[in-house]
Chains A and B, each alone.
Chain A
Amino acid sequence: MKSMLITIFFCNILLYTMAQQEDITTVQGTVYGLETREALGNVTVRISNTNAAVTTNEIGHFAIAVRSLKDSLTITAVGYRDTTVSAGSFTTPAILYLVRQTTQLEEVVVQTGYQSLKVNEITGAVDVISNEMLNQQTGLNILQRLNNITPGIRFDNQAINTPDLQKLNVSIRGLSTINGHLDPLVVLDGFIYEGNINNIDPNSIENITILKDASASSIWGARAGNGVIVMTSKKGDFMSRQPTRVTVNNTWIIQKRPDLNSLYELSNRDFIEVEEMLFNQGYYNNQLNNSPFLAVTPAIDIFDRRKRGMISATDSASMIQNLLVQDGRRSYMSNFYDVPLSQQYNLNISGGSLDHSYGLGVGYTQNTTELSAGAKKANIQLNNSFRPIDKLQVDMSILFTSQKSNTGKPAYSSLAHNGKAVPYMQFIADDGAGIPFEREFRRLYLDERYTSGLLDWGYYPLTDYRYSRTITRLNEWYASTSARYKLLPFLDMNLGFQFQNQTSENTGIDKLESYAARSYINQFTEVDPTTGSVKYNVPLGGIRKMGTASSSSYTFRGQSNLNKNIGLLKIIGMLGAELRQNKNVGSSYTAYGFNDDPLMSAPVDFANRYRNIPTNSLRNIAGMPSFSHITNRFVSVYSNWSAIWDNRYGLSGSFRRDGGNIFGATTNDKWSPLWSIGGSWDLTNESFFRTEAIDRLRLRATYGYSGSVDLRKTPDPVAYTGTAQYTNLPMLAISVLNDPSLRWEKVGTFNLGLDFALARSRITGAVDYYVKNGRDLYGLTDYDYTTWGNQATITKNVAAMRGRGWDISINSLNTTGALKWNSRLIFSFNKNVTTAYYNSANSGVISFLGNGNTIQPFVGKPLNGIAAYRYFGLDEEGRALGILDGELTTDYLGIRRAVFASPEGHESIEFIGSSKPQQFGNLINTLDWKNFGLSINISYKGDYYFQRPVTSYAALFQSGTAYPDFESRWKAPGDEQITNVPAMTYPVVSNSAAFYSNADINVFKGNHLRLEYISGSWTNSWKIGNREAKVQIYGNVSNLGLLWTANRERIDPEFPYRLSPPISFSLGLKVDY
């Protein structure tokens, strides 16, 4: 394939000889385009290495004075290759033909993973992200580098809702399924990559191809329905210019520490006032009386002691006074936070000769977070290709990754007293000693009740992490080998094998000094009340929790490729078959009485239940060994053909059939067919379409169809094994219901695309329009659980949906010359809508209440949407007002019942819009001047809504969380004129919080502009001997924050009242030799 890349350089010069002249001579000539044979105006003719230059006139003529006929002339024209000729050639007026520069589009090779194709050989929607683009951003995750530079890809800043269906939180062209896997398929060097994406060293990736339409899924199978990300790692070239090429790269990334002060918290005074009110109202009575062992906040502890007469009023007042002066956040930030730092080192050596090429990459990454959690990663990658005989090429590649990470200090949010966080936290006493934090149990109770025989119950957040940490070790091998034999000039056969094995080992060690170990040992200790003798059911010593998970996969592939020209017709095709297995094996257990020097552990009784201190309940000791074993197997046959006639008309088709070992499925349901067809038309190669302005115009279209079957389509229910409570007998319980009524899920995708290059390729780009039609989509739906009862929802063919959108990318070269200014605009529209919903009894518009992060199918509405209650301010008692039967009301339960009863809509609820951006894009401006380069990336997300979180008094009382609206809450009659925030009451007004937090006043337009990053570089190269050394110093500043947002409160729509990713600075050095 590579040979095809080599473009043949044509230059045709007609000469008329003329006598040689001394001194200054004027030479002249005419410049034509080779293909068009038309004269070219405005072409620069410059004497090489000088500033002397002229331009051609409209008829392509130029004349320039030269000192010597030995001078060379450099002829440059936009859209044409630079050409250097000797001035002597023009002693008589000569004609020079310039070769049209092949546009970037044509040079790009598209790696589908199964084939390497040129852009004009494919009909589908693809994006190729070059190494240069990938390097505009730094960072440890290769996928993150696609963010902001790739059309149609949206990185979601909301937390993942369904971790079993989604790991990457990236979507390509929005949703195509409701309850299926949501991640794009990741392919590394031709094979599906099942490992952790963080294992891949970003510096080892040469480029990335993104396959977005049906032609992707029809060759990669059903899992490619969400798009395919094909990564190609750096390799050596056969016949490279240099036998060895060395690249050294080093990057440092520093992040700002998170600023907790940017999050809202009640002031100490307000907070303690609320606590006092709750205490006096008896909110804590139940807990204090019935579960007196549970931790309470320091203020409640003081109030309770005072009430019980354990301390005097003066004592309690001064203790409260002490709490009032604390600043928990500041104290936390200064005692816990470090500067997050990452370092990346990478060495690449590559080279090649006539029959051998190789690439070696070694990478090392180290990073520590603000909480001193650390990770270290080493990568070694070796690629080798041989051509032992002319017709045979053997490729081998091995990737080894080793990672070790450890947990750090406790997160701010983890510091809560039995689930309630307080703003007046204290970590260090005046004498410098660590203050114990009552996280689960109340010290007062423990001290009163258990006087001897137990270990210290205190949790010391400042030092505890030293004794309690989890270390994860991960090793991964990824090896692939393939042999390609050229049977005939136009036909080759390819055998490939890939093997991957990832083992990760989680070791949680809680030393005896740690709170976790001390507390657990105490909980299972029995102290005889009369003799005082102590029995440790969990032996004294550390606790070591082990978890191992290994995943291994292999692929065996046989494929034949055909590439033949028959006259003007070019046929490219392949036919292959593949076997794949993916096996996940896991085990876990806990060892007690653990000590590492001398190494020892002690047995415990997992079978019997023990009376627990201080909860008094019967509990088993946790950590009995458990095992898991999952094997997925796939068999696939696939084929992909394209025919191109005269570089004008292209036709393509592909087909794939997948089979899998779906448990319990009948043979027919194990196989899913996928197909696609496509066509293309290159207008620029038509004789009738010859215009100066347009260098390239190519239309392409594909349509494809895929189907997948749900695991629940089994003839029998499936049970899992377990152990029965009380009797310890082996038991079974049904986990998957058999539902013979399930049908195949079917998705049809249409894509229409246009590639263009204008103004002598100064403007290039592509526009794609697509429609995805899904039918019989699986989804979780409410059902009559009288039939089963185990789950609230069940998978059914619930819905049909349509996704529609545009992906646009435009690259333009705005200025040439010394200052080069490039712009890249990428923009996407994506809308999806539910077109049919089969369960009419579904809860309706009411299901859209909330932040819109869960998928809710409802006919005519986007899958992720927000609805809100209509809000009418407050009444004179500070209660929120809604509407019911045309009247303002505080009957929130009535409103809820009414809305529930009319799923199609109701006067008191309003559907507002999509909660996911339906328009998004980036503008990247790049400036190059001399050795300097600068890129600025601004992103836009629009046409969506977000819900800001507001204070729920129930949540404030229970967990201490509140939002800024707390400050402007209704406090006294009359306040209803100036605020919409309901009064704080105890007991909480029934359903009030659910009504107010879902009110329309809390939903805002999410449109915003964000400055994503600024990156700069300085590059220089020197000749050392006959080799060139290139040095680049680069830097990047990212997460620069919002430039503009549509909401007037300036709430970040992606991180409403949450910490946004902190600004990060990176600096790097790259040497190429």
Chain B
Amino acid sequence: MKNLTKKRIVYPMLFCIAFLFASCEDYLNVRSNSALVIPDDLESLQKLLDATQFMNMGICSDGEVASSDYFLQQATYNAFRDEVKLAYVWDNYDQLFNNDWAKAYSVVYTSNLVLDKLKRIERTADNSIQWDQIYAEALVFRANQYLSLVWTFAKAYEKQTASTDMGIVIRQSSDFNAKSERASLQECYRVIVDDLKKAADLLPTTSSYPTRPDKAGAHGSLARTFLSMREYEQALYHADRLLAIKDELLDYNSTSEVNMSANFPFLLFNKETVSYYELTSNTQISVTNAMVDTLLYETYEEADLRRGSFFKKGPKTYHTFRGTYSGSAKLFAGMTVAEAYLIKAECLVRLEQPDLAMNIMDKLLRHRYQTGKYVSPDLSSPEEILAFVLQERRKELLFRGLRWIDIKRLNLEGAEIDLRRNLDGAEFVLPHNSDRFALPLPADIILQTGMPQNPK
């Protein structure tokens, strides 16, 4: 009797327990949060790259903060927090998260993740177009970010010293536990150029949105890269490749293209935009705080439509900037057709073809001046023409994150540009040969990694 009872109990119990364990694997495989995804197919990798608010908005602005197309009024400066004040006078050695470094490497991480995941997805005849495109897009995002980092946190490229000059951290995998080390400047530029070239071959000529990399954009990045390396032939070649795809300029006389009465006259994704990026936000250079350098403002002639469309009357006799191609207060940092023309013109002068350069400048500026008001300046010497081109470059491309590297590379060409700030009657100077042109890495990064800081 007792045995029977036991059997009656024990077997069903054992059965129940066995059933429980057999089914609990399935039971536990339910996804905990339905909004979460493990990205591992081509569609989801494309979606990672399509996240414009991260991928296209991480271009470093610390360089723009440090350069001098703008100044801060004393009262504005006084109201700032300490680190903001310090950055303004090139002394921000206490920077902690969140900063340009973090935002830039977040893009690098996502690009690397996409590249790592792609290795696990077989490239087949069916998916090759999509596969190649995603691969190339990731390369472009990463290279553009590296370029922005190198321009900000390293010295300008000098062939003789590049192999020993400190560059930035080159991370070629998404492995979180891989140690960060500073690569040489030479290595940094090699990676950027290699990746961009590889991508330029694979990308479609143009993409449906300027936020997605395409061939034109890749050539634009290459032209920027080579220009900053002072490799003018290469820069010219890639500017030409870009212009072969896209060469239409905005005519500032057209009210449908440039609406002067709007707060921000330029439209998002306008036809001159080759690739779309934004600078990270930094309070010193926000369109309300930054006052445009008064001497710079005065270089815009009355007939120059940029005088009205780029600037807004600010306090006193000062002006604030509104010429961003974002349609809002965000600072645009992408490639434009105009920039390609300017790169081309500069390279042509430097490659001893000043007449061709002047033709390009005339074409560009005719789109900038009131119809019929532009008069080509009568310049004879290549030096004068170069100065003219560089002046126009500064006037066209201000607040785009380009001025900082321009100052550095031009100083290597002998320009001797010193930067000055006036505060409370005191003058702060960043002399043209200063080590501080390579901005300091964040203090917490130095502490965590033990990497060498840029010399002060």
Q: Give the B-binding residues of A (Cβ under 8 A).
A: 281-283, 285-286, 289-291, 487-488, 491, 493, 558, 560, 577, 579, 611, 616-618, 628-633, 635, 637, 659-664, 667, 670, 714, 716-722, 724-727, 729-741, 782-790, 792, 841, 843, 893, 896-897, 900, 986-987, 990-991
Q: Is B119 an interface residue (CB 8 A)?
A: no
- Cross-chain contact B171 with A663 (CB below 8 angstroms): no
With a CB–CB cut-off of 8 A, which chain B residues contact A630?
A: 32-34
Q: Which residues between 69 and 126 of chain B lie within 8 Å of chain A, taking CB atoms?
A: 73-76, 78-79, 82, 85, 93-94, 96-98, 101-110, 113
Closest to A619 in B: B328
Chain B nearest CB, measured from A797 CB (Å): 13
With a CB–CB cut-off of 8 A, which chain B residues contact A488?
A: 5
Our pick among A487, A730, A991 for the contact of B5 (Cβ within 8 Å) is A487
Q: Which residues between 23 and 37 of chain B lie within 8 Å of chain A, taking CB atoms?
A: 24-25, 27-37
Interface size class of B (residues with CB under 8 A): 35 or more
With a CB–CB cut-off of 8 A, which chain A residues contact B5?
A: 487-488
- Cross-chain contact A718 with B327 (CB below 8 angstroms): no
- Cross-chain contact A616 with B288 (CB below 8 angstroms): no
CA A900 to CA B24, docked complex, whole Å? 50
Per-residue CB proximity of B311-338 to A under 8 Å, as 1/0?
0001100001000000111000000000
Our pick among B102, B176, B263, B268 for the contact of A739 (Cβ within 8 Å) is B176
Q: 12 other contacts beyond A283-B75, A732-B44, with CB at 8 A cut-off?
A: A290-B315, A493-B13, A661-B29, A664-B38, A717-B39, A718-B36, A719-B38, A721-B37, A785-B101, A787-B109, A900-B443, A987-B78
Q: Which residues between 337 and 368 of chain B lie within 8 Å of chain A, taking CB atoms?
A: none
Our pick among B28, B113, B180 for the contact of A659 (Cβ within 8 Å) is B28
Interface pick from B46-54, B129-137, B196-204, B401-409 = B46-54
Q: Give the A-binding residues of B (Cβ under 8 A).
A: 5, 9, 13, 16-17, 20, 24-25, 27-40, 44, 47-48, 50-54, 73-76, 78-79, 82, 85, 93-94, 96-98, 101-110, 113, 169, 171, 174, 176-180, 209, 211, 263, 268-269, 276, 288-289, 314-315, 320, 327-329, 443-445, 447-449
Chain B nearest CB, measured from A636 CB (Å): 10
CA A736 to CA B288, docked complex, whole Å? 36
Chain A nearest CB, measured from B315 CB (Å): 4
- Cross-chain contact A487 with B9 (CB below 8 angstroms): yes
Given A667-B25, A719-B48, A789-B109: A732 touches B39 (CB 8 Å cut-off): yes
- Cross-chain contact B448 with A784 (CB below 8 angstroms): yes
The 4 A-B residue pairs with the shortest CB-CB distance, nearest first, are A282-B75, A789-B106, A290-B288, A987-B78
Closest to B261 in A: A529
- Cross-chain contact A727 with B75 (CB below 8 angstroms): no
With a CB–CB cut-off of 8 A, which chain B residues contact A618?
A: 327-328
- Cross-chain contact B110 with A560 (CB below 8 angstroms): no
CA A896 to CA B111, docked complex, whole Å? 37
With a CB–CB cut-off of 8 A, which chain B residues contact A290?
A: 288-289, 314-315, 320
- Cross-chain contact A291 with B288 (CB below 8 angstroms): yes
Chain B nearest CB, measured from A486 CB (Å): 12
CA A630 to CA B33, docked complex, whole Å? 4
With a CB–CB cut-off of 8 A, which chain B residues contact A664?
A: 38
CA A734 to CA B174, docked complex, whole Å? 12
Given A631-B32, A737-B176, A896-B94: A788 touches B105 (CB 8 Å cut-off): yes
CA A738 to CA B16, docked complex, whole Å? 36
CA A938 to CA B374, docked complex, whole Å? 88
CA A46 to CA B24, docked complex, whole Å? 68
Chain A nearest CB, measured from B260 CB (Å): 14
- Cross-chain contact B171 with A558 (CB below 8 angstroms): no
Given A718-B38, A727-B209, A735-B36: A286 touches B47 (CB 8 Å cut-off): no
With a CB–CB cut-off of 8 A, which chain A residues contact B110?
A: 733-734
With a CB–CB cut-off of 8 A, which chain A residues contact B171?
A: 786-787
With a CB–CB cut-off of 8 A, which chain A residues contact B179?
A: 784
Chain B nearest CB, measured from A300 CB (Å): 14
Given A718-B37, A719-B38, A721-B35: A726 touches B20 (CB 8 Å cut-off): no
- Cross-chain contact B328 with A617 (CB below 8 angstroms): yes
22 CB contacts below 8 A, A to B, read: A286-B289, A290-B289, A577-B20, A616-B263, A617-B329, A629-B33, A660-B28, A721-B35, A724-B51, A727-B52, A734-B110, A739-B176, A782-B448, A784-B179, A785-B101, A786-B101, A787-B171, A787-B176, A787-B180, A789-B102, A792-B97, A841-B448
- Cross-chain contact B263 with A732 (CB below 8 angstroms): no
- Cross-chain contact A629 with B35 (CB below 8 angstroms): yes
With a CB–CB cut-off of 8 A, which chain B residues contact A291?
A: 288
Given A487-B5, A782-B448, A787-B109: A632 touches B32 (CB 8 Å cut-off): yes
CA A240 to CA B329, docked complex, whole Å? 77
- Residue among A719, A720, A900 with the highest chain B CB neighbour number at 10 A: A719
With a CB–CB cut-off of 8 A, which chain B residues contact A491?
A: 9
With a CB–CB cut-off of 8 A, which chain B residues contact A721?
A: 35, 37, 47
- Cross-chain contact A635 with B98 (CB below 8 angstroms): no
Given A285-B75, A617-B329: A738 touches B176 (CB 8 Å cut-off): yes
With a CB–CB cut-off of 8 A, which chain A residues contact B52?
A: 724-727, 729, 731
Chain B nearest CB, measured from A736 CB (Å): 8
With a CB–CB cut-off of 8 A, which chain B residues contact A716?
A: 38, 40
Our pick among B30, B73, B105, B107 for the contact of A785 (Cβ within 8 Å) is B105
- Cross-chain contact A663 with B31 (CB below 8 angstroms): yes
Closest to B312 in A: A290
Closest to B180 in A: A786
- Cross-chain contact A633 with B50 (CB below 8 angstroms): no
CA A663 to CA B101, docked complex, whole Å? 30
Given A786-B105, A790-B106, A897-B94: A731 touches B37 (CB 8 Å cut-off): no
- Cross-chain contact A991 with B82 (CB below 8 angstroms): yes
Closest to B29 in A: A661
- Cross-chain contact A789 with B104 (CB below 8 angstroms): yes
- Cross-chain contact B98 with A792 (CB below 8 angstroms): yes
Chain A nearest CB, measured from B399 CB (Å): 16
- Cross-chain contact B51 with A633 (CB below 8 angstroms): no
With a CB–CB cut-off of 8 A, which chain A residues contact B33?
A: 628-631, 663
With a CB–CB cut-off of 8 A, which chain B residues contact A577?
A: 16-17, 20
Chain A nearest CB, measured from B275 CB (Å): 13
With a CB–CB cut-off of 8 A, which chain B residues contact A724?
A: 50-53, 211
Closest to B81 in A: A954
With a CB–CB cut-off of 8 A, which chain A residues contact B97?
A: 785, 792
Chain B nearest CB, measured from A172 CB (Å): 27
CA A281 to CA B327, docked complex, whole Å? 34
Chain B nearest CB, measured from A741 CB (Å): 6
Closest to B327 in A: A618
Closest to B149 in A: A786
- Cross-chain contact B28 with A732 (CB below 8 angstroms): no
- Cross-chain contact A782 with B288 (CB below 8 angstroms): no
Our pick among A633, A637, A726, A987 for the contact of B30 (Cβ within 8 Å) is A633
- Cross-chain contact B36 with A730 (CB below 8 angstroms): no
Given A577-B17, A893-B82: A788 touches B109 (CB 8 Å cut-off): yes
With a CB–CB cut-off of 8 A, which chain A residues contact B209?
A: 726-727, 729
Closest to B262 in A: A611
Closest to B58 in A: A789
Chain A nearest CB, measured from B81 CB (Å): 8
With a CB–CB cut-off of 8 A, which chain A residues contact B25?
A: 667
With a CB–CB cut-off of 8 A, which chain A residues contact B53?
A: 724-725
With a CB–CB cut-off of 8 A, which chain B residues contact A741?
A: 176-177
Closest to A958 in B: B79
Closest to A493 in B: B9
Given A663-B31, A670-B28, A731-B51: A987 touches B79 (CB 8 Å cut-off): yes
CA A732 to CA B54, docked complex, whole Å? 10
Our pick among A487, A670, A785 for the contact of B102 (Cβ within 8 Å) is A785
Given A286-B288, A785-B97, A896-B94: A661 touches B31 (CB 8 Å cut-off): yes
Closest to B314 in A: A289
Chain A nearest CB, measured from B80 CB (Å): 9
- Cross-chain contact A635 with B31 (CB below 8 angstroms): no
CA A737 to CA B82, docked complex, whole Å? 33
- Cross-chain contact B315 with A285 (CB below 8 angstroms): yes
